[in-house]
Amino acid sequence: MVNSYDLIIIGGGPAGLSAAIYGGRAKLKTLVINKGTIGGLADTTREIVNYPGYIQVSGPDLMKDFQKHAKHFNVEFLKEEVISVDFSQEDKLIKTKKGKEFSAKAVIVACGSEPRILNIPGEKTLRGSGVAYCATCDAEFFEGEDVVVVGSGDQAIEEGMYITKFARKVTVIVLHDEGILDCNKVSAERAFNNGKMEFIWNSTIEEVLGKENVEGVKIKNIKTGTSSQLICQGIFFFVGMIPSTHFLKDSGLEIEKSGYIPANDRMETNLEGIYAVGDNRVKYLRQVVSAAGDGATAAVAAERYIAELKDFNANILKNDKKILLLFFNVLINESLEFSTLLERLISENGDEYKIFKVDMATKKHLAGKYEIGKVPAVVVLDKGNVIKRLDCSMDKEKLKSQLF
Amino acid sequence: MSLQELDANRFEEIIYDNCEPCLVIFRRKTCHVCKEVVPILEELQPQYEGKFGFYYVDAEEVKSLLQRFSLKGVPQILFFNEGEYRGKLAGKIEEETIEEKIAEVLGA
């Protein structure tokens, strides 16, 4: 049996949990499917100092608050991995790894990202034997040793500084020219003043060296092309994240080569009823606060979409009368004038037809469903089936002849 | 079902005295990847009841074991059979990979 919901959110990070709060509050039957621990990437952050209302909070604590808030609004949670979807019908289908199936009127994709793997020799084979991706987890294993950090973003530099609490020395391998780091200025300044941190500029890693354990790295200077070796016992990779959107590859959802999903300011994707938020979409700022904003926006957009869908199914598709779907746009005067004309014509000629006005600006999915390009436009429905499209003439007689 | 914890003594007993076929995950409380892998093991465990043991050790408590197996990082799952070390899996490991490794250890 398929369990059906109004709204299913794939992913339980800040974006997904915020969407859940808004969905639950709007009384949508809402399910969050999340494969790991709740909180996503934020759950791995030791310290968050820029989420409004919290001067300093740990990622896990903040995410627990988010989840508690969502549960307060009766949101359901399921710990599972989504492996395939079918977004081609009005009821969207979702399948999990354990074979459970769910359907939803709307789906919010909020499954976040995962660390990028460079796929250089030694990276995979020496994982856990000196190759690491998480400072909180593994920094203590390198007490008094030499560690290399690859990358210069917020995560690389901040985690790098955390590692200096244990390691003898942390050498940061940076792609850019001397003095340029990708991270925020405060962290950059702190890193430059940290006596245990050193930097190698214009460089990247070619290979992790060692048999049983990491013994060193091969560094390539991208400006001169020369390679050198550096002895170390550990190497931490912080070379960015890639969106975990691969399971959506064949869903018909538009996904960029980089894995990000393009979405508009309502988080709508190219498929109706499907929204992309947080680290899954193409955007400028990737923070907890902006992820939360995305989640709220998507849930409200989904709520309106579901309301329209229900309204449409109840009033239009099951109506006994013939329905005239009249598409208009307040900015196009001709469509307003036509609307007045059509309404007068129908009211003068009995009750065979009922007019249902569709504002193109807000009900885009209906315009899409009936392939309406410009306004005014009229589609005639009988029991939900399209029986005619009108030529929207301003000549009353011409118009009348098409209907009566 | 939660995994049974081993301290250094129990580890010696189970692995080398009893020669039990089993896996031991080395984990830490603060490690978020561990929080993803441990539940996978907890779910797998009942299927192997009586055939293959599932244990965990707290990496902070058993530093001597970390050195013996030259472990630098968590989570890592170590596999044993007949009192011998049969390899390990490190990092974020999928359920299938663990099942394959168990089959390999039991089959060998």
- Which domains, from first to last, does chain A contain? 2-115+241-312 (3.50.50.60), 131-237 (3.50.50.60), 319-403 (3.40.30.10)
Give the whole-number percent of chain B exceeding pLDDT 70: 99
Question: From the CA of A326, how many Å to the nearest CA of chain B?
Answer: 52
Which of the four pLDDT bands, split at 50, 70 and 90, describes residue B95?
A: confident
pLDDT at residue A36 tops 80: no
Q: What is the pLDDT of residue A1?
A: 57
With contacts defined as CB-CB under 8 Å, which chain A residues touch B65?
none
Name the residue type at position A225: G
pLDDT tens-digit readout, B6-60: 999 999 999 999 999 999 999 998 888 898 899 889 989 999 999 999 999 999 8
Are A367 and A379 a contacting pair, CB within 8 Å?
Answer: no
Question: From the CA of B90, how many Å to the nearest CA of chain A?
Answer: 5
pLDDT tens-digit readout, A137-170: 899 999 999 999 999 999 899 999 999 999 999 9
| Residue in A44, A129, A133 nearest the CB of B72 | A129
Mean pLDDT (whole number) for A70-82? 95
With contacts defined as CB-CB under 8 Å, which chain A residues touch B60?
140
Q: What is the pLDDT of residue A275?
A: 98
CA A136 to chain centre: 26
pLDDT at residue A399 tops 70: yes
- Give the predicted TM-score (pTM) of the model: 0.77
Are A353 and A378 a contacting pair, CB within 8 Å?
Answer: no
Give the whole-number percent of chain A exceeding pLDDT 90: 76
Q: What is the pLDDT of residue A28?
A: 97
Residue matched to tokens 């993803």: B36
**B36 to A35: CB separation less than 8 angstroms, yes or no:** yes
Residue of B nearest to A58 (CA): B30
With contacts defined as CB-CB under 8 Å, which chain B residues touch A234?
72
| Residue in B32, B72, B76 nearest the CB of A134 | B32
**A129 to B71: CB separation less than 8 angstroms, yes or no:** yes
Which of the four pLDDT bands, split at 50, 70 and 90, describes residue A47?
A: confident
Helix (H) or strand (E) holding A137: helix A135-138
CA distances (Å), origin B28, targets A35, B8, B44, B76: 20, 15, 20, 10
For A80, other C-beta atoms within 10 Å of its C-beta total 17
With contacts defined as CB-CB under 8 Å, which chain B residues touch A38?
none
With contacts defined as CB-CB under 8 Å, which chain B residues touch A79?
39
With contacts defined as CB-CB under 8 Å, which chain A residues touch B88?
128
| Residue in A43, A128, A133 nearest the CB of B72 | A128
pLDDT tens-digit readout, A118-136: 999 999 999 989 999 889 8
**What is the distance between the alpha carbons of residues A81 and A100, in angstroms, rounded to a whole number?**
10
Q: Is this complex scored with an ipTM above 0.90?
A: no
| Residue in B31, B72, B88 nearest the CB of A134 | B31
Helices (H) and strands (E) in chain A, counts: 9, 21
Mutate to test the interface with B, among A111, A127, A148 (most CBs of B within 10 A): A127
The three-state DSSP-derived secondary structure of B15-67 is: HHHCCCCEEEEEECCCCHHHHHHHHHHHHHHHHHCCCCEEEEEECCCCHHHHH
